[in-house]
């Protein structure tokens, strides 16, 4: 069955906001900011990076394949996704707590809302409609841990460091549209491959294209493209950190 | 007439199991990945955003009400675009300050993902969407499901004579295969009964309403939901821990009923049901009685429970092999019951007995799923107690269930029976 939640990169480049006239650059910025809100607010609520925040970010990216940023401001959608993902992933947070954290962390963005909780409740319904109650999201984390076991030639320490790096790559990949263009298992493969490359790990007897036993016709270029999406994100945000634009970020009190 | 359906779901802490296990199972289930490139091209050929993301009630024409059940009203609908017929289940959900209750969200999303795996013996959830009732009243959840010809209750009520062994076994096998699939994915049905086992003209069985019962497990005390107790395992009646083995109990009762069209145990209240079970099976020894049961074991020691009888005596229509399965399934102690997978390995399912008997034809000329609760099979339960889920049998790997599908499915073709007169 075709995964209805995976789009081609052309389709992503042609997302509703862009078709409505927004520049690609602006759309990418708003996606990153939305996910930043998910992660920041989620962290203050002591949600672990995964799976709730990854699930929330995935909802967020899917949502804007159906709606525009001008119809639904990124900050509301981000909170709605976090709220919904909390319930689905069994880490429920009170709507009021989410809103309070959001106001505290991003006062300039959220102070303008008179009744933020009502807005989040409203967006929850739009989200359900858009996501069609299909709320179980495949995440790459378990696959990553499974793949971590198939390299007998790599020392235990080196392997766990590599997994740690790949894990971070996965966390950060949610700022990009990777989760709506590549299946979770492939993300795990590509980012583990990236971690091996970064750490210059020798795989020993195992083939360099070790994933071929599972995914026979996934080309090296496709793996590279996946890795580059994450690397490009790091480059881009090094030059322009998310929320670097004036008036967006206010240091936490 | 059917009782009016009122269900209020009150959110609150989800007491229903931190089912990490379930999540893990979902996540590790490998998607078929061999053909990535091909799939990609497929995706690009049907542009995603051209399709309307909304799926509203207006896409369907509601033709008639099929029945009211404990979970909502069921309608027959036709999808305008495709002209296909489906059943629509509408459930009212009240919304509080935490939005849509967590239990409702979880169950719907699990059902949704289960459906994508498509099991022949599990009713497919084609679509789900909500409609708002008003500002504060909450919302309706609309579930579009496959339409089947009958439920098993109506089917058994409608057929003119008992089903022959082969047909019974065919039905029983599919129930267990479907249950095995649900349990494999950590879904406990909790309310398995003939009314929510659906059957088609071609003898195909589909288990419905799984997970729905859990959506109501934190139902408010004011709610009265009409429920059948006849298939309920003792541990549920005694309000102690339940697990997938509770579904096995229900399956055992149902299989017995398929044979002679009479319930195995039939009480009109929780206590009455327990008395009936213990009256027929005897009171188990002290060590098997749940320590946290709401009723003491001693309460049931009396003349009425002094003469236990064997399953075969209780239901003489059962073949010895079928009786063996039922006997195992309705063991008082939940741990002694087989898993669905183990039950499928019992001789009953292994030896397809050739016979000249022709299957009993399905009842003709009456609507599916009508009058689900118009029978006196219901008892009014005032209070739905919170029950701790227990995921037994959860970490087991199943074999390919599809491959276990019997040849009988091919062989079992219901011939139109000319002698058969419609009785409705």
Residue B171 falls inside a structural domain: yes
- Per residue in B2-21, pLDDT (tens digit) is 333 333 233 333 322 222 22
The secondary structure of A183-194, three-state, reads CHHHHHHHHHHH
- Reported confidence tier of residue B418, pLDDT bands at 50, 70, 90: very low
Torsion on CA atoms A89, A95, A96, A98, rounded to nearest 10 = 50
Is the predicted pLDDT of residue B149 greater than 80, yes or no? Answer: yes
Query: Of A185-199, A220-234, B133-147, B354-368, which gets the smallest average pLDDT?
Result: B354-368
Higher pLDDT, B177 or B141: B177
Chain B residue with Cα closest to A146 = B28
Compute the distance between CA of residue A229 and CA of residue A236 in angstroms, rounded to an integer.
10
Homologous superfamily of A141-239 in CATH? Cyclin-like (1.10.472.10)
Query: Of A54-58, A178-182, B126-130, B255-259, which gets the smallest average pLDDT?
Result: B126-130
* Mean pLDDT (whole number) for A160-176: 95
The secondary structure of B235-288, three-state, reads HHHCCCCECHHHHHHHHHHHHHHHHHCCCCCCCCCHHHHHHHHHHHHCCCCHHH
Peptide bond between residue A51 and the one before it cis (omega within 30 degrees of 0):
yes
The CATH code of domain A9-131 reads 1.10.472.10
Question: Which is nearest to A80 in space by CA: A27, A130, A114?
Answer: A130
Are the C-beta atoms of A86 and A92 separated by less than 8 Å?
A: yes
Among B28, B99, B109, select the one facing A136 at the smallest CB separation: B109
Taking the Cβ of residue B135 and every Cβ of chain A, the question of whether any pair is shorter than 8 Å is answered with no
- Reported confidence tier of residue B194, pLDDT bands at 50, 70, 90: very high
Tokens of A69: 């940023």
Q: What is the CATH number of the domain that holds B309?
A: 1.10.510.10
Are the C-beta atoms of B118 and B125 separated by less than 8 Å?
A: no
Read off φ and ψ for residue B321, nearest 5 degrees: -70, -40
Read off φ and ψ for residue B62, nearest 5 degrees: -85, 120
Compute the distance between CA of residue B272 and CA of residue B265 in angstroms, rounded to an integer.
10
Domain extents in chain A? 9-131, 141-239
- Reported confidence tier of residue B134, pLDDT bands at 50, 70, 90: low
User: How many Å lie between the alpha carbon of B18 and the closest alpha carbon of chain A?
Assistant: 7
The pLDDT score that the predictor gives to residue A86 is: 92
- Reported confidence tier of residue B417, pLDDT bands at 50, 70, 90: very low
User: How many Å lie between the alpha carbon of B292 and the closest alpha carbon of chain A?
Assistant: 27
Compute the distance between CA of residue B36 and CA of residue B41 in angstroms, rounded to an integer.
9
- Reported confidence tier of residue A195, pLDDT bands at 50, 70, 90: very high
Cα of A244 vs its chain's centroid, Å: 19
Among B33, B48, B106, select the one facing A88 at the smallest CB separation: B106
Higher pLDDT, B139 or B219: B139
User: How many Å lie between the alpha carbon of A250 and the closest alpha carbon of chain B?
Assistant: 28
The pLDDT score that the predictor gives to residue B95 is: 74
Question: Which is nearest to A204 in space by CA: A151, A150, A126, A142?
Answer: A151
Residues β-bridged to residue B85: B78
Residues of B with active-site annotation: 191
Buried b / exposed e over A107-146, threshold 16 CB at 10 Å, is eebbeebeebbebbbebbbbbbbbbbbbbbbbbbbbbbee
Residue B417 falls inside a structural domain: no
User: How many Å lie between the alpha carbon of A34 and the closest alpha carbon of chain B?
Assistant: 21
Tokens of B396: 């087991």
Compute the distance between CA of residue B333 and CA of residue B344 in angstroms, rounded to an integer.
20
Compute the distance between CA of residue A72 and CA of residue A68 in angstroms, rounded to an integer.
6
Tell me the pTM.
0.70
Structural domains counted in chain B: 1
Look up the domain containing B269 and give its range. 20-25+56-411
- Reported confidence tier of residue B223, pLDDT bands at 50, 70, 90: very low
DSSP state for residue B380 in the 8-state scheme: E
Taking the Cβ of residue A95 and every Cβ of chain B, the question of whether any pair is shorter than 8 Å is answered with yes
Contact state of A134 with B109 under an 8 Å Cβ cutoff: yes
Are the C-beta atoms of A9 and A28 separated by less than 8 Å?
A: no
Chain A residue with Cα closest to B52 = A66
DSSP state for residue A206 in the 8-state scheme: S
- Count Cβ atoms below 10 Å from residue B247 Cβ, excluding itself: 28
ipTM: 0.77
The pLDDT score that the predictor gives to residue B70 is: 60
Tell me which chain A residues have a C-beta less than 8 angstroms from the C-beta of B23: 51, 89-90
Residues 6 or more apart whose CB falls under 8 angstroms from that of A123 comprise: A72, A76, A77, A79, A80
Among B44, B55, B99, select the one facing A132 at the smallest CB separation: B55
Q: Could you say which residues from 44 to 83 on chain A have a Cβ atom under 8 Å away from some Cβ of chain B?
A: 51, 65-66, 83
Contact state of B31 with A138 under an 8 Å Cβ cutoff: yes
Compute the distance between CA of residue B38 and CA of residue A175 in angstroms, rounded to an integer.
27
Among B14, B42, B110, select the one facing A92 at the smallest CB separation: B14
Is the predicted pLDDT of residue B385 greater than 70, yes or no? Answer: no
- Per residue in B323-347, pLDDT (tens digit) is 999 999 999 999 999 999 999 999 9
Compute the half-sphere exposure of residue A107: CA atoms within 13 Å on the CB side of its CA: 5
Residues β-bridged to residue B131: B140
Tell me which chain A residues have a C-beta less than 8 angstroms from the C-beta of B14: 90, 92
Are the C-beta atoms of A189 and B31 separated by less than 8 Å?
A: no
SS3 content of chain B, % helix, strand, coil (to 5): 35, 15, 50
Are the C-beta atoms of A56 and A87 separated by less than 8 Å?
A: no
* Mean pLDDT (whole number) for B224-236: 78
Compute the distance between CA of residue B225 and CA of residue B219 in angstroms, rounded to an integer.
10
Read off φ and ψ for residue A3, nearest 5 degrees: -75, 115
Please count the residue pairs, one from chain A and one from chain B, whose beta carbons lie less than 8 angstroms apart.
Answer: 131
Tokens of B307: 């003469």
Which range scores top for mean pLDDT: A220-234, B315-329, B338-352? B315-329
Compute the distance between CA of residue B33 and CA of residue B20 in angstroms, rounded to an integer.
25
Are the C-beta atoms of A155 and A199 separated by less than 8 Å?
A: no
Query: Of A37-46, B52-61, B214-223, B393-402, which gets the smallest average pLDDT?
Result: B393-402
Tokens of B276: 């009936």
Taking the Cβ of residue B94 and every Cβ of chain A, the question of whether any pair is shorter than 8 Å is answered with no
Burial degree of B397 (CB within 10 A; 0-12, 13-18, 19+): exposed
* Mean pLDDT (whole number) for B236-246: 88
* Mean pLDDT (whole number) for A213-226: 83
E-state strands within B241-359: none
Contact state of A8 with B40 under an 8 Å Cβ cutoff: yes
Is the predicted pLDDT of residue B303 greater than 70, yes or no? Answer: yes
Query: Of A90-94, B97-101, B169-173, which gets the smallest average pLDDT?
Result: B97-101
Asked if residue B89 belongs to a known ligand binding site, the reply is yes
Intrachain domains A9-131 and A141-239 with the same fold: yes
Residue B240 falls inside a structural domain: yes
Specify the residue for token string 């709606």: A67
Are the C-beta atoms of B244 and B391 separated by less than 8 Å?
A: yes
Is the predicted pLDDT of residue B129 greater than 90, yes or no? Answer: no
pLDDT, mean over chain A: 89
Taking the Cβ of residue A198 and every Cβ of chain B, the question of whether any pair is shorter than 8 Å is answered with no
Compute the distance between CA of residue A109 and CA of residue A231 in angstroms, rounded to an integer.
29
* Mean pLDDT (whole number) for B245-252: 96
Determine the 3-state secondary structure of B145 from DSSP. Answer: strand
Among B28, B47, B105, select the one facing A11 at the smallest CB separation: B47
Taking the Cβ of residue B133 and every Cβ of chain A, the question of whether any pair is shorter than 8 Å is answered with no
Read off φ and ψ for residue A55, nearest 5 degrees: -65, -45
Contact state of A186 with B36 under an 8 Å Cβ cutoff: yes
């Amino acid at each position: 069955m075709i995964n209805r939640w995976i789009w081609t990169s052309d389709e992503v480049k042609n997302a509703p906001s862009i078709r409505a006239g927004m520049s690609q650059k602006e759309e990418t910025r708003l996606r990153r900011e939305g996910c930043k809100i998910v992660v920041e607010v989620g962290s203050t609520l002591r949600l672990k990076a995964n799976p709730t925040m990854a699930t929330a970010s995935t909802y967020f990216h899917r949502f804007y394949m159906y709606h525009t940023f001008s119809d639904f401001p990124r900050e509301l959608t981000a909170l709605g996704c976090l709220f919904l993902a909390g319930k689905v992933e069994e880490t429920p947070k009170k709507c009021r707590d989410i809103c309070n954290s959001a106001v505290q962390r991003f006062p300039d963005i959220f102070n303008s809302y008179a009744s933020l909780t009502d807005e989040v409740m409203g967006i929850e319904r739009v989200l359900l409609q858009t996501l069609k109650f299909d709320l179980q999201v495949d995440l790459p984390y378990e696959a990553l841990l499974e793949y971590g076991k198939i390299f007998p030639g790599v020392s235990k320490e080196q392997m766990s460091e590599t997994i740690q790096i790949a894990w971070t790559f996965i966390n950060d990949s949610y700022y990009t549209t990777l989760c709506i263009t590549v299946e979770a298992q492939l993300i795990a493969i590509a980012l583990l491959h990236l971690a091996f490359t970064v750490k210059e790990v020798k795989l020993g007897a195992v083939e360099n294209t070790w994933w071929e036993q599972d995914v026979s016709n996934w080309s090296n270029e496709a793996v590279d493209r996946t890795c580059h999406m994450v690397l490009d994100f790091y480059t881009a945000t090094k030059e322009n950190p998310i929320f670097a634009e004036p008036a967006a970020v206010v240091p936490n009190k | 007439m059917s009782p009016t359906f009122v269900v209020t779901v009150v959110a609150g802490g989800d007491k229903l199991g931190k089912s990490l296990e379930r999540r893990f199972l979902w996540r590790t289930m490998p998607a078929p990945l061999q053909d990535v490139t091909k799939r990609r091209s497929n995706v690009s050929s049907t542009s995603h955003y051209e399709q309307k993301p909304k799926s509203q009630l207006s896409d369907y024409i509601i033709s008639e009400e099929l029945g009211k059940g404990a979970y909502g009203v069921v309608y027959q609908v036709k999808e305008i675009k495709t002209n296909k017929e489906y059943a629509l289940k509408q459930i009212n959900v009240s919304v509080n300050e935490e939005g849509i209750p967590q239990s409702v969200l979880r169950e719907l999303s699990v059902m949704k993902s289960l459906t994508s795996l498509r099991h022949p013996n599990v009713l497919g959830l084609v679509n789900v969407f909500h409609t708002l009732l008003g500002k504060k009243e909450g919302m309706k959840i609309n579930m579009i499901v496959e339409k089947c010809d009958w439920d098993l209750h109506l089917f058994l009520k409608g057929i003119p004579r008992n089903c022959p062994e082969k047909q019974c076994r065919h039905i029983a096998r599919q129930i267990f295969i479907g249950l095995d699939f649900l349990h494999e994915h950590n879904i406990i049905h909790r309310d398995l009964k003939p009314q929510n086992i659906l059957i088609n003209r071609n003898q195909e069985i589909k288990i419905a309403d799984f997970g729905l019962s859990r959506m109501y497990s934190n139902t408010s005390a004011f709610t009265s939901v009409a429920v059948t107790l006849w298939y309920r395992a003792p541990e549920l009646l005694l309000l102690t821990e339940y697990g997938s083995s509770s579904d096995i109990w229900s399956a055992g009762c149902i299989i017995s009923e398929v044979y002679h069209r009479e319930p195995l145990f039939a009480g009109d209240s929780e206590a009455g049901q327990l008395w009936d079970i213990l009256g027929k099976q005897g009171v188990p020894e002290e060590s098997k009685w749940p320590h946290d049961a709401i009723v003491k074991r001693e309460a049931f020691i009396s003349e009425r429970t002094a003469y236990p009888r064997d399953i075969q005596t209780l239901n003489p229509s059962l073949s010895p092999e079928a009786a063996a399965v039922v006997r195992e399934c309705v063991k008082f102690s939940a741990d002694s019951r087989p898993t669905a997978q183990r039950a499928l390995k019992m001789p009953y399912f292994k030896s397809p007995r050739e016979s000249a008997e022709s299957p009993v034809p399905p009842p003709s000329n009456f609507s599916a799923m009508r009058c689900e609760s118009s029978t006196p099979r219901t008892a009014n339960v005032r209070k739905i107690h919170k029950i701790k889920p227990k995921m037994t049998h959860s970490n087991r790997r199943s074999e390919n269930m599809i491959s276990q599908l019997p040849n009988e499915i091919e062989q079992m073709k219901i011939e139109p029976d000319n002698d058969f007169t419609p009785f409705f």
